Structure 1
Amino acid sequence: MQDLPLQRAFYWEKKRANSVYLSQPMGEGKIREWTWAQAMNEARRMAAWLKAQDWEQGARVAIMSKNTAWWIMADLAIWMAGYVSVPIYPNLQSDSVRQILEHSDSKLVFVGKLDDPQSMIEGIPRSVAQVGTPLCAIKTQESWESIVATTQPLQGKHTPASDALATVIYTSGTTGFPKGAMHDFAAFAHTSKALHQLLRGTQADRFFSYLPLAHVAERCLVEGFSLYTGAPVFFAESLDTFVQDLQRARPTLFFSVPRLWMKFQQGVMAKMPSRKLNLLLSLPVLGRVVRKKVLHGLGLDSVRFAGTGAAALPPSVVAWYRHLGLELLEGYGMTEQFAFATISVPGRMRVGFVGESIACCDVKLSDQGEVLTRGPAHMKGYFLNPEQTRDAYTQDGWLKTGDCGELDDQGRLRIVGRMKEQFKTSKGKYVAPAPIESKLAALAGIEACLVTGGAESHQPFAIVMLPEGRWSAMRNPGARSEFTSQVSAHVERINAELDQHEHLSFVAIVPEQWTVEAGLVTPTLKLKRNALEAHYRKHYDQWFKRGSPVVWHDHA
């Protein structure tokens, strides 16, 4: 058996024909399942229809949907037909949809489950054909069901070469228009083999797919690795059913981002105060029972690998999960590297570090401390952008990540911050915001935060967003006073650990939720710093004049 994703799919189609591969919630508690043979049959039928459109080899076909079984089947169909898939985040504005479809010159877009389908479909140019998959809430030109019902399956094993272009993945656009990273089929193979070296994945594993498949991490860790291992994939239905979906899947391999790990923690602490939970966990026999019960309630009791990435996770959160018996292993990667360059190894992990370089990626630091990487899973370049491709690499072929890093004596990497995110205060001192944000976000009750400053301020300060619904509770004077004291004490502890020029002068707490729809975070919940600073800059003077360590911004 070879390692390319389509080769693996053809292998499991025969080897595990009657084993369930995809499990899709259909609403009202109903679940639809596909065996490997059934999933490949649908993909083959769609591939035959796509191939009959007679587009040129390598033509781009987009997928615009939340994660569903049809997302993966569509991807397989696109590849079997000899085309290139272009994922689109399921929560973009119509203008962004149009930009990506036009830039990629996509011939067709699969439209699936979306929160605001009418808005997003308005971004599809008239020249781009549409195929609606089941759970798509609006009428499209063609439907998946009718095509599958009336088209004979494509026969044979249509396997592109390892260096053939498989997908164009557009970055999440924290600083402007996203760039399309081109990845070949070998990228899937190299990263899957590296994951297998670390995790020893088997057909008995279970994947839970809920982070956007349009993002490279879910594409690599769920789609790519499930194709490699032959293990089943379970999908989430909605936020309302998320915990039930997770309990149904009981994944063995589970990856999440810091903001969601912290939400899980806050959910547990809302039901059981931290002091009581710690007391119960400290008891020899009862502690084991409580650990199992808490993890079972989260749907994480079967997890043998728990990964985290995309941003720094506060050490206190890592310690909290470890106390529950779940070791959160941090990793690091980018779209350009096909998801990951380093991973923390069980038994060798170090809190605050993102692990060691993986088998298919070399890592080093430039003289300026920038993290440089290279390897066979790296992108072939940016689509239709040779100038940005040249700028992304050093003259000797190392990818310039834009991240500042440090390596310890065992080769473990710590990300200090983004080169471009560092700012200079009016005192002429540079501040890296990410490490300070990680410390600040460790306080329960803080959902997200931004550390900023610049030439107009002597010291950096922070803007804080509360969890959804928490602002209303803070209208109670007693609750606000108590939380203000907690934040003040927390900032004092943080400042004691920082250099003088890094000390936070104050924290401004704002009422808004930072959402994708508002343009303040990316679809993967990364902060759009420029957008956030532009949104709040007009209030900076007012906040400074308050002269308070904690400022409540009561007016949106």
Structure 2
Amino acid sequence: MFEPRFPRQKAITKPKPYSMNPVQQFSHWEATTPGATFLQQPLAGQWKKWTYKEAGDEIRRMATALGTYGLPPKSKIAILSKNCAHWFMADLAIWMAGHISVPLYATFTAATIRQILEHSESKILFVGKLDTWDEQRSGIPDNVQCIGISTYISTPYPTWESLVTQHAPLTTFASLGSDDLATIMYTSGTTGNPKGVMATFASFAYVITEGLKHLEAENGKQRFFSYLPLSHVAERSLVEMGTIYSGSTVYFSESLQTFSENLAHAQPTIFLAVPRIWAKFREKILEAMPQPKLDRLLKIPLVRALIKNAIKKKLGLAKANWVISGAAPIAAELLEWFQRLDVTIRDTYGMTENLAYSHVNLPSVKYGTVGKAWPDVNVRFSENGELQVKHPAIMKGYYKDPELTQSVITDDGYLRTGDKGIVDDEGFLTLTGRVKDQFKTDKGKFVNPTPIELQLLRNPDIDQACVVGMGIPQPIALINLSAAGKSKSREAILESIRQTFSELNPVLETYERLEAAVVMRDDWTVENGMLTPSLKLKRNELEKANLSKYPEWYKTNSVVVWE
């Protein structure tokens, strides 16, 4: 193994006894700051608030209600819902009653819902805020009992609202050991079926306690905004656990249509987004203020600060102390663009299997990297360049799959990430792609697509890019145009792509140089199966749908090919 030097790296230790679990931590704030606002949920344009005392009362009543179902201790209870106040309360009630939570993505199909509920052996399912419930309900096995949340949806099941009125608040919690299983998080799956990642209470406590300490947000009241799927590890670890462990307030979004308005109202102090969100933010800014005009205004000393502050306030970032990007690679050019507005986006790196705790651009930032290893994270590379990490919060394993667990965790406890990267002399990690994303062209050359895709995304006319090349001599790029790109003529797009290629191809190896860009007819979305619920590209699905067309596109002999 190649062992790079990491100045901040320490020997692995067992989790420190931080270790109030989420229920204990919530109960602490419930007792010491009962009137502080915990949850803010927009409903029909009005904000409904729950204080820690009010939420605690509902959570305790629901925990009592769960006790009436006669489940054995540590049974699995699932949550199927978009982000909302009741998601947090359901999670805490499940733990308070001594059970294990199983979050499901609200966009899962009926088939995937059934697969996960059966695999996890879930006994109860909370059914909450959903857009496609009529299509999803057939995925619930007959032996799973359901609780509907009528605040958001009409179901034939007993409702949260009725159950909390029928039961007294629970006063004695179930005993939750630090090494007990807290949750099974099923990955959204860029390839294959979702895998159930097992995380303990100690893992959650370790990651969020360390994280809040280094963000200097341990005790100050923070404002979080929850909109990325809570089934995703980053939102769960940072936003849910961050709110609970810091005794803060979390705001939710009512709908996609009200997202911007809700975020502007929330003005979070800590904000997490994925690269697609940052790209959309830039598009909206430039729709209102085209780049040439923005450039001119930013050069005027008396106007510059006013423009920056107005944009940040409208985005909802006027009070943000920590602005974070994660879940997928982000182009350095996009980070640099936001920096001109004094929005410092800190790119991070992690995965479900390590509770999203691996690398971060903190305290210093180096664009194009995912930062340095967090303290107590040990890092090394295998002989084939695969990044491996180790710290006290690595997953307990994949549920019911010891063989797969053994394949990704080494004998000495390192997690095989599946990612390749390099570390510079200062300890900053640059990811260079996925081990399994490499493809071989007809010339027998292996191409790593990720770095090329990130360079393509520097072009503001390109919203999404996927570099492919199996079965053809040279790679081609499949692209979706941005809103700005879609507003341009085909001739203008041809010139835009030609310019990008003229800058990019000379710095690539000969066998990596792009032959053409194929403008796809349909955008890649969660709904058409090309993106995961966390907005990562499903490369395998895209290849499956388009592989047979590669030779035809390659032979077109044009820089831009329109599907």
TM-score by length of 2: 0.95
User: What is the CA–CA distance in structure 2 between the aligned matches of 1:193 and 1:344, rounded to whole Å?
Assistant: 18
Q: Does 2:149 match 1:139?
A: no
Q: Give the match for residue 20 of structure 1.
A: 37
Q: Does 2:540 match 1:525?
A: no
Q: Does 2:512 match 1:502?
A: yes
- CA offsets 1:246-286 (integer angstroms, 9 cap, x no match): 01100010010001101000110111111211221122221
- CA offsets 1:470-489 (integer angstroms, 9 cap, x no match): 75x46xxxx22112211111
Q: Give the match for residue 562 of structure 2.
A: 552
User: What is the CA–CA distance in structure 1 between the aligned matches of 2:535 and 2:99, rounded to whole Å?
Assistant: 30
Q: Give the match for residue 218 of structure 1.
A: 235
- CA offsets 1:471-508 (integer angstroms, 9 cap, x no match): 5x46xxxx221122111111221112222111111000
Q: Give the match for residue 550 of structure 2.
A: 540
- CA offsets 1:376-409 (integer angstroms, 9 cap, x no match): 1111000011110111112222110000011111
Q: Paired residues, what number?
A: 545
Q: Give the match for residue 173 of structure 1.
A: 189
Amino acid at match of 2:451: P
Q: Give the match for residue 256 of structure 2.
A: 239
User: Any idea what SS the aligned residue of 1:234 has?
Assistant: strand
Amino acid at match of 1:460: P
Q: Is the 2:222–2:270 contact (alpha carbons within 8 Å) kept by the matching residues of 1?
A: yes
Amino acid at match of 2:421: G
Q: Give the match for residue 429 of structure 2.
A: 413
1:138, distance to aligned residue in structure 2 (A):
3.1
Amino acid at match of 1:514: W
Q: Does 2:446 match 1:430?
A: yes
Matches within 5 A, 1:286-305: 286-305=303-322
Q: Give the match for residue 282 of structure 1.
A: 299
Q: Give the match for residue 60 of structure 1.
A: 76
Which of residues 488, 494, 508 is equivalent to 2:498? Answer: 488
Which of residues 386, 389, 396 is equivalent to 1:373? Answer: 389
Q: Does 2:107 match 1:97?
A: no
User: What is the CA–CA distance in structure 2 between the aligned matches of 1:70 and 1:332, rounded to whole Å?
Assistant: 29
User: Any idea what SS the aligned residue of 2:302 has?
Assistant: helix
1:537, distance to aligned residue in structure 2 (A):
1.9
User: What is the CA–CA distance in structure 1 between the aligned matches of 2:261 and 2:461, rounded to whole Å?
Assistant: 24
Once the two structures are overlaid, the 10-residue window that deviates more, 373-382 or 540-549, is: 540-549
User: What is the CA–CA distance in structure 1 between the aligned matches of 2:304 and 2:71, rounded to whole Å?
Assistant: 61
User: What is the CA–CA distance in structure 1 between the aligned matches of 2:256 and 2:175, rounded to whole Å?
Assistant: 37
Q: Does 2:61 match 1:45?
A: yes
User: What is the CA–CA distance in structure 2 between the aligned matches of 1:357 and 1:503, rounded to whole Å?
Assistant: 33
Q: Is the 2:283–2:484 contact (alpha carbons within 8 Å) kept by the matching residues of 1?
A: no
1:342, distance to aligned residue in structure 2 (A):
0.8
- CA offsets 1:172-207 (integer angstroms, 9 cap, x no match): 111110110000001111111121222111442100
TM-score by length of 1: 0.96
Amino acid at match of 2:303: L
- CA offsets 1:23-76 (integer angstroms, 9 cap, x no match): 00111x111100001111101001011122121111100000000000000000
Q: Is the 1:371–1:405 contact (alpha carbons within 8 Å) kept by the matching residues of 2?
A: yes
Q: Is the 1:250–1:299 contact (alpha carbons within 8 Å) kept by the matching residues of 2?
A: yes
Which of residues 209, 218, 230 is equivalent to 1:193? Answer: 209
User: What is the CA–CA distance in structure 2 between the aligned matches of 1:320 and 1:145, rounded to whole Å?
Assistant: 46
1:2, distance to aligned residue in structure 2 (A):
4.8
Q: Give the match for residue 126 of structure 1.
A: 142
Q: Give the match for residue 3 of structure 2.
A: none
User: What is the CA–CA distance in structure 2 between the aligned matches of 1:147 and 1:445, rounded to whole Å?
Assistant: 52
User: What is the CA–CA distance in structure 1 between the aligned matches of 2:378 and 2:61, rounded to whole Å?
Assistant: 41
Once the two structures are overlaid, the 10-residue window that deviates more, 66-75 or 485-494, is: 485-494
Q: Does 2:269 match 1:252?
A: yes
Greater length-normalized contact order (CA 8 Å, ≥ 6 residues apart)? 2
User: What is the CA–CA distance in structure 1 between the aligned matches of 2:179 and 2:211, rounded to whole Å?
Assistant: 20
Amino acid at match of 2:492: E
User: What is the CA–CA distance in structure 2 between the aligned matches of 1:93 and 1:239, rounded to whole Å?
Assistant: 20
User: Any idea what SS the aligned residue of 1:406 has?
Assistant: strand
Which of residues 461, 471, 474 is equivalent to 2:476? Answer: 461
- CA offsets 1:217-240 (integer angstroms, 9 cap, x no match): 000010011111001000011111
Amino acid at match of 2:339: R
User: What is the CA–CA distance in structure 1 between the aligned matches of 2:137 and 2:357, rounded to whole Å?
Assistant: 32
1:360, distance to aligned residue in structure 2 (A):
4.2
Q: Is the 1:63–1:86 contact (alpha carbons within 8 Å) kept by the matching residues of 2?
A: yes
User: Any idea what SS the aligned residue of 1:115 has?
Assistant: coil
Instruction: Please report the RMSD computed on the Cα atoms of aligned residues, expressed in angstroms.
Output: 1.4
Give aligned-pair identity as a percent: 41
User: What is the CA–CA distance in structure 2 between the aligned matches of 1:359 and 1:56, rounded to whole Å?
Assistant: 39
User: What is the CA–CA distance in structure 2 between the aligned matches of 1:408 and 1:543, rounded to whole Å?
Assistant: 38
Structure 1 unmatched runs, 5+: none
Q: Is the 1:190–1:360 contact (alpha carbons within 8 Å) kept by the matching residues of 2?
A: no
Amino acid at match of 1:378: I
User: Any idea what SS the aligned residue of 2:126 has?
Assistant: strand
1:466, distance to aligned residue in structure 2 (A):
2.4
User: What is the CA–CA distance in structure 1 between the aligned matches of 2:89 and 2:522, rounded to whole Å?
Assistant: 38
Q: Does 2:168 match 1:152?
A: yes
User: Any idea what SS the aligned residue of 2:467 has?
Assistant: strand
Q: Does 2:351 match 1:341?
A: no
Q: Is the 1:191–1:377 contact (alpha carbons within 8 Å) kept by the matching residues of 2?
A: yes
User: What is the CA–CA distance in structure 2 between the aligned matches of 1:468 and 1:101, rounded to whole Å?
Assistant: 39
User: Any idea what SS the aligned residue of 2:437 has?
Assistant: coil
- CA offsets 1:133-156 (integer angstroms, 9 cap, x no match): 134323132100000011111003
Q: Does 2:530 match 1:514?
A: no
Amino acid at match of 2:143: S
User: What is the CA–CA distance in structure 2 between the aligned matches of 1:185 and 1:410, rounded to whole Å?
Assistant: 33
User: What is the CA–CA distance in structure 2 between the aligned matches of 1:508 and 1:268, rounded to whole Å?
Assistant: 27
Once the two structures are overlaid, the 10-residue window that deviates more, 65-74 or 394-403, is: 394-403
Once the two structures are overlaid, the 10-residue window that deviates more, 262-271 or 202-211, is: 202-211
Once the two structures are overlaid, the 10-residue window that deviates more, 69-78 or 132-141, is: 132-141
Q: Give the match for residue 246 of structure 2.
A: 229
Q: Does 2:330 match 1:317?
A: no
Once the two structures are overlaid, the 10-residue window that deviates more, 54-63 or 71-80, is: 54-63
User: What is the CA–CA distance in structure 2 between the aligned matches of 1:136 and 1:264, rounded to whole Å?
Assistant: 28
User: What is the CA–CA distance in structure 2 between the aligned matches of 1:303 and 1:520, rounded to whole Å?
Assistant: 32
Amino acid at match of 1:302: K
Q: Does 2:92 match 1:76?
A: yes
